[in-house]
Structure 1
Amino acid sequence: MTSIDLNADLGEGFGRWRLTDDEGLLSVVTSANVACGFHAGDPATMRRVCALAAERGVTIGAQVSYRDLAGFGRRTMDVPPAELAAEVAYQIGALEVFARAAGTRVAYVKPHGALYNRVVLDDEQAAAVVDGVLLAGGALPVLGLPGSRVLERAGRAGLPVVPEAFADRAYTDEGTLVPRVQEGALVTDPDAVVARAVGLARSGAVTACSGARIEVRARSLCVHGDTPGAVELARRVRARLEASGVRVAAFA
């Protein structure tokens, strides 16, 4: 049976402000990318989400970012490699405290936003992210775009790699994500998102914004938690996957 992980970005709030419906999404997804305080999240939020995830058997991952709380981690930044590696390790370590307190552990790492997109092609920044994962200790899997520099670097360093796909993002012919600033970067039609999710899981392919059919082989599928109606959309995606004979299960 075809199997795929379903992940979402969670804990994206700060103080009294909350962006994601963490409780709702944790009833659907199999892996939780938890914000570690650099683009969103704070200690109380991280602790709460880790406790909920552990209670519901959802795998916890550290979603590491550039230090950009005001810009939600989506602004381009130039961070020296040694500094970035230390900041990645710092974020993983912070989340690990709360994961262990909940009786579980951080099981993987996924970059967020501008960092995620940067390490697709930037070898220096990709190497810094991998150095940060190694500095944090343990052979943690790294989630990223298929063919990205960060997955190549992680594999060369002996870390497990997990290629990821997005049902609600538009793709270029090269298999990269269309930048959010461009029109059509987000797929907003729920029926289209559900259909793309099934296609990615079953055939490993998706239609690019040009209309070309491109290969995107992934072990994990992301459903964004910051889109309107995210919980209901995630439920629809999971239900259609399972109805199509796809087993939804965590990779880690």
Structure 2
Amino acid sequence: MSKHIEVNGKLVQANKRYSDLKQRQKSQISQWLYDAYKKQVAENITDDEALEPVFEKIDEAQIWIPEKEIRAQYRGKKIKFKKRMEATVQRDSFKFDYNKAANYWLQKDANSNKMDRAQVMERIVSFIEGHNTCTLATASEGHTRCTPIEYNFVDKCFYFFSEGGLNFRGLKKNKNVGIAIYEPYNGFANLKSLQIEGTASLIEPFSEEYLKIMAFKKIPEEAMRKLPQPMALIKVVPTMFDYLDSDLKKEDYSSRQHYVV
């Protein structure tokens, strides 16, 4: 049977328990108790000193709960608060240096043994022509897409015929794209891949350039014109290549060759 007393002109339940509080009130008090625990640990103060601000906040929020209930909750939650604080400290102590990681190869390349530009491009073109499929990466704010797609390399540019897809969402707002061509991983001694950055554009259907790429792929013009709508033709003009080939070490060159167009 509940007992009531008058507090600040209001009739309140004298034997009210913490479990009787609303969930919102319990969440508030739990956070205040955690803050009190952090203060107690940092300043090496007593429970009473740590809890004093908590009681003030409870009064300001006009929450009625006997102080003994709050003290019992605090004692019961201390182990949980300790683990929570240790996990937070551990998480915050890990500060990854993104800039350092991003500049890793740039710094390493500064002292690497580089091939002549003509030689590098010859190797790059040979690698491109030795494959026909890549990953085309497009992105815009809040959206990224990596599309496996067949390519055609003509006049030092990449061309992709496409029926459509989510990669066009990125292309609409961002013409900067990435291309990756690679061979299956077979150990560090056999690495071969090519990363390309470039600028994309769309070629007008049945324009001179469009017909040229159709002829290169041996696509009959009549067949393309019979489609409900012609396929989109994406053109990517490369601006940078990163060629990786473990075999280059046998020639006393760095396995990674950076080429800016």
Q: TM-score, normalised by structure 2?
A: 0.20
Q: TM-score, normalised by structure 1?
A: 0.20
- Which has more helix, going by share of residues? 2
- Which has more strand, going by share of residues? 2
Highest relative contact order (Cα 8 Å, sep 6+), 1 or 2? 1
